[in-house]
Structure 1
Amino acid sequence: MNKFSLSLFLALSISLSGCFLQDLALKKGYKKHDAGEYELALKQFKKQAASGKAVPEANYMIAESYRLSNRLKEALPYYEEALRAGAPEEMANYYYAKALVANERYKEAKDHLDYFLQGASNVEVIDLCNNYVDNLELLLAEEDKEPTYRVKNLEAINSPSAEYAPVYTKGKLYFTSNREGNDIYRATGTPFTHIWEVKTKGARVEIETAEQIKELYSNGANEGTITFSPDGKTMIFARGNTGRRKGTQDVNLYESKYRKGEWSEPKMIAASDPEAWDSAPAFSPDGKQLYFASNRNGGFGGTDIYVAKKDARGRWGNVRNLGNKINTADNESFPYLSDDGKLYFASEGHPGYGGLDLFVAERKDGKLQVRNLGKPINSPADDFGLFLFSLNKGFFSSNREGGAGDDDIYTFVNNDPELKVVNYYLTGIAVTIGDDGTEDILEDTQVQLMDANEEILGEATTNEDGKFRFRVYPAENYVLFGSKVDYLTSRTDFSTVGKTVPQERLVKNITNVVFETKIVLDKIVLDKPIVLENIYYDFDKDNIRDDAAVELDKLVNLLVDNPKIRIELGSHTDSRGEALYNQDLSQRRANSAVAYLIENGIAADRLKAKGYGESTPIAANTNPDGTDNPEGRQKNRRTEFKIIGLDARKVSAEKVEYQSKDLEERFFGGGEDEEEQ
């Protein structure tokens, strides 16, 4: 090989080697990115960008790695460069706007999206951007409002490492931190997180008592976001992100019991999905429901907030999504249920100041309303993990500027002069009427509280005293459904309209108002006639009058609520007129009533029309002296039904619909009484 050929060969080798190394950096970056190892991915993508090859793609992936590792503020210049170079991903515009918001450039974010939407083509991205523009307009309108919160860094507990998700119980503050450890979590380049506890009196921390909960420690895994049952004897927390599986799906919820002075070996709860990311658990105030965040299939996008219910054996199941009034196409997480029936949570999808913001959801005027807690509790950074110490004081987490380092724990005081609240509760009892007319208590009765649109707001099972309890809200109409095996499902109306306590009458910070009601269930007895009251017909007519239709509508409801029963609907007359004529008239009337039920959605094979004429009186048509007995004849001119069969295989389409509805308002649970009014 001559000198020229050798020089050319070396030049080509170096060039090809450079191309190979550049491509290798990009491939390695994608591999680390797909594995959720964003810190390692950043190094590769930055190496690719420095090479001068595929720079727009590398910049976009640098921005994505920052975003997905909760550093959206740092992603801004890389989204900007990727868009300037013509990044083909339309989602880049959406994320760029969010990065602008994270840097407090709200108007620029809105202006950019307004311009982008003029030529956008991806329908999903257009919907996201339109919603975000609406959010920004709401946010800009809130800028001039006077803040009611006062916020302070809890300096005694914070370090240059991360401290977040505070929970207070029984004189101790529990939190998550990566302040110690040699094992490095490759997604962030920091030590794994573990759960700590420290003695405290409110916000006065005895930092020398801080220590890890050793029973929960797992080497090479993150632990965090803890919640306690109301009695403090059960904890549920998140554990995962070991790095042993592809992606970040290996985060699950674990339960531990406090026995003989220590916490038991944690066990994964049944409600946790091994194929999903489940974290940020929170008990309801009564301990019967568990709220948490998850990215499991079937959500609205990102992480959603779900609720699980504890069964009679103490297992968590019956998981439901809280619906699209709470959850958005972005991330919702860190739910917290307060004693006054409000849901606090963190969201990137509702109108916010950048990153995660804290929101509160509550029922007002019969609707669920979501509100940003505003500045200074929210900031352009991530604000999340709220916990109330009392009605107007609490803790939360933030990685805002001015802290000790990474995520910090903050305290807050709410100085809202109208913070006084009224808790409304509905207590009740389930009974059945015995043959002697006395009331018998019904335990293990399933009771559902529904709003006027028959959407489920709460569920309960009566105890040995037949009692149940729900939280209710001012100026609303409700329906209570009671069901029990071998009994007819019953519905009872209740309303709080006109029963609201005026704000000016409130003296105490918390006032509890308790209403009472009763649910009566009839035992299913075959062939036992039940008289339908107020079913009247015009003389010698068989058409359904308006007043009779009102009563038949109640029978429609009963048949809908009890899909397994088949009934005979019978019509009776008094003894006036010819017996054959009365027989025909009663049959026509029974037919008309059955036709009405069919027209209102009841299947014909569940109904039988029977005319009895004057053959089965329940009272005397005449007095002993032969004179007319108007009262007796009135009783005999009746319509009644009786159950003639049961079909356990039938399923009520209406009940299925109730169960499948979004449960965005389901979280409003109980709370302990403090003062009664």
Structure 2
Amino acid sequence: MRNLFLIFFLLLFSTCSTAQFAQWDTKNKKAIKYVESAIEKTRELDQSTGLPNYAGAMPLIEKAIEKDPNFTDAYRMKADFAIRLGDKTTAIDAYRSAIAVNPELSSTGYIYFELAQLEWSNGEYVEGLAHAQKYTSIPGANPEFKEDVLWLIKNCEFAIESKKHPKPYKPINVGVGVNSEDPEYLPTLTVDQKQLLFTRLVSNSSGYIQEDFFTSTDMNGYWGNAAPMPPNINTPFNEGGPTFAPDGRTLIFVGCKDERYGYGEGRRGYGSCDLFITEKIGNKWVDPINLPGRVNTANWETQPSLSSDGTTLFFIRGILTGSGRTNQKRGDIYMSKIEPNGAWGEPVKLPDNVNTPNSESSVFIHADGRTLYFSSNGHLGFGGYDLYKTEMQPDGSWSDPENLGYPINTHENENAIIVYPDGELAIIGSDKPGGLGASDLYTFKMPDDIKPTRTIYMSGTVFDNVTKDKLEAEFTLIDLETKKEVVRSFSDRANGSFVVTLPINKNYALSVQKDKYNPYSVNFNLNVAENSNEPYHMDVPMEPMYSKSAIRLDNVFFDLDSYVLRKESFVELDLVTQFLNENPKVKIELQGHTDARGDDAHNLELSTNRAKSVMTYLIEKGIEASRLTSKGFGETKPYTYNEGDQTIELTEAYIDGLASEKEKNKAHQLNRRTVYLITAQ
């Protein structure tokens, strides 16, 4: 099993007791007395930590070494105490001193393994590699640890080689608007990159330390002063690990149980930490509820990340391993899909090439829907937790994780990253020196080789085309190349707005539906100029069913001079079928139109046949023929639209007067259309 026992777990193999050192390797009685006094001191509790008083024992160990500089047992005990105090440098020095005194200190060589792990976790990779290799050369070395030592050697070799090829990395503190003397970590960002939500560790008026959410708004290039989320979100207990839905109106986060008070007023959970969900209506966040479905369990669920289409949730599920004082939490990455009723389905654990026998955390799915970033201490790395990326393959599998490289990763713990939708920038949490507090948020430019697919956000507003009232409506975006649905969501019930992210340079179909309105559809190519971050905007005018306006079927396609439906049209026509099934009294007339180019008679015949093809498809889908008629108009009814107070009719003469071929082609395309009119309802 590839399991490196990191600094905090080394205590399992270096327990100190008088019995262990019944035969001291010194005859200096004063040195022995100091060592035994140090052991007695560890039986006391440190009043500040409640742990054995290793800090108080350290001076006694130093005095023992002063009395006998060759007292190797004292050096080993010093290393053990330093490990327990989290002082790796002192522990390394103590082990090295013991080896210098007696290179053949242990027939099993275990001291070399302990030292190599410490050196690797402290960024001293060359030394760690040498001592790990020394362990493998000792004839009496314990074979039980052979696999772990070989894995340690691979990690040291990986780190040494990676440091020869550093990534361009210049982290910049995001500023005093966000960072404070308190620790800030686990950020999330709206897809328009305008609002940052993060976790801050704070102490309340009673001195109780707990986690709350704070938000900051982009102020023309810098982050404004952070404000706490409202009290129905922030409770006196722990909230953390937030993830925004693409539009910033839905928030999924972690709420944890307080041993004294549970989850807090109005909240119920299943385990020590659960996922909760809240929605913003207008400017108000509703009271959170336990995430509906089968995600939460008696284990702990944490650090969620929601895909840009809102249908897939990634999160960490933790389990306890070991027992007693060796009880440790380890996490794995799980994925859940939303079900038609809005609940979340049975989670699936990501495969073993992503999850390891150690621990994964801080998962983040990029807006491209396929690039997953996460933290782990179980893959090849530099020590502690490193950051990795894996990509979902076309068959649904996941690529082997790639370490983000040095110096993004170091021997310290790197445990949270989010990447902007355009892939250019990232935000990382770090406790690196020089920050404003114990842990700060930093931004940096993503190196090219670890960038995700570039996406851009698309915004719009759904409204009644007659009254101009804003509408809540269901909208769907489909990738016309793959025929796959990439987004399904609702516009805001208060202001009709929606925001989604989409990979650039693809063809999409947008369909919007609402009861008592005609379906709306349009296709578009999301071509974006290189390095442009301008959002794509598209408003959606919904025609009430009582309106006499023609409804364009922009996602119905035919090949040139053909009336055979292309398969890309089926998504659109299936929505029309659904609309007719949901409104059984509605009758429609399907109309075909062409542009003015070509022979008039041929255009009339072509448009007539195209309208018939659509009608035939609907009949084959079960719509009664008595509810449908079809008619072709050729080029006789040019497309007409309003521009301000002016009505524009795209006649042949008007098109000839346009300035560019691009404008002329667009006008011809508007004239080539399939539409329907409601004739009865």
For normalisation by structure 1, the TM-score amounts to 0.50
For normalisation by structure 2, the TM-score amounts to 0.50
